[in-house]
Amino acid sequence: MIDAVVFDFDGLIVDTESSSFRAWVETYEEYGCTLVEEDWAQHIGTINGFDPYGTLCARATLPVPPEGELRAAKRAREQELVEAEPVRPGVVAWLDEVATMGLPVAIASSSPTHWITGHLTRLNFTDRFAVVACCDDDRPPKPAPDVYLAACERLDVAPSRSLAIEDSAHGVAAAKAAGLWCVAVPGPLTRTLDFSAADITLGSLADVPLADVLGQLDPIAR
């Protein structure tokens, strides 16, 4: 029996990953080098898997400005790209189902709270989530289980009776380490990663209603 649903955000609700990757790709090209998806895959779902600035400095064929200056320009371009990104397919339908079922719902993210709440406001999603658990106050990022444990504690539900929805291998590892059931929904930049640890893997949330997924899990989750 599943008593709560906990969503990741970046790459799952909105494809912020592609926007961030594209902004860095453009930055690398500006300084005469390239960034590929295999580099970026190390970074998805966590915050310490890849150093884009350090790697740029090592690869660049033109002088690279100080990190703060370069990151500010990259962030401005990333914000421009991400604000044009729609909600990923099936997300609204699953959130509507969760609301109809009366299940509490949370976000568990490796991003800082201000990043998540800013997007939720932009999308008019602030009332969709009872809890937002992020990597603030020295809480470690995924694949550590801390954000999922915090989300379940604040929802007052047992992790073993909660379902995580994730798009990255780091996220799946975090959810399973915390004791949650997990549905993986790979995004454009994570489709080649190993999702064998997930209980169910979907091509899109639009492929299967939430009720059907819960029906598959219910016999083993009881």
Residue 8 falls in the annotated catalytic set: yes
Percent of the chain predicted with pLDDT > 70: 95
User: If we measure between CA atoms, which residue out of 62, 64, 46, 45 comes closest to residue 54?
Assistant: 64
What span, in angstroms and rounded, lies between the C-alpha atoms of 122 and 124?
Answer: 6
Return the CATH number of 4-15+85-221, one of 1.10.10.410, 3.40.50.10490, 3.40.50.261, 3.40.50.1000: 3.40.50.1000
pLDDT digits (tens, 9 = 90+) for 20-45: 899 999 999 999 999 998 888 766 76
The residue annotated as part of the active site, out of 3, 10, 15, 127, is 10
What pLDDT sits at residue 220? 62
Which DSSP helix (H) or strand (E) runs through 169?
helix 169-178
User: By the 8 A CB rule, do 185 and 167 touch?
Assistant: yes
pLDDT digits (tens, 9 = 90+) for 139-178: 899 999 999 999 999 999 999 999 999 999 999 999 999 9
Mean pLDDT of the chain: 92
What span, in angstroms and rounded, lies between the C-alpha atoms of 117 and 134?
Answer: 10
What pLDDT sits at residue 189? 83
What span, in angstroms and rounded, lies between the C-alpha atoms of 61 and 28?
Answer: 10
Strands of 200-201's sheet, edge to edge?
131-133, 105-108, 4-7, 162-166, 181-184, 200-201
Q: What's this model's pTM, rounded to 2 decimal places? A: 0.86
User: By the 8 A CB rule, do 22 and 120 touch?
Assistant: no
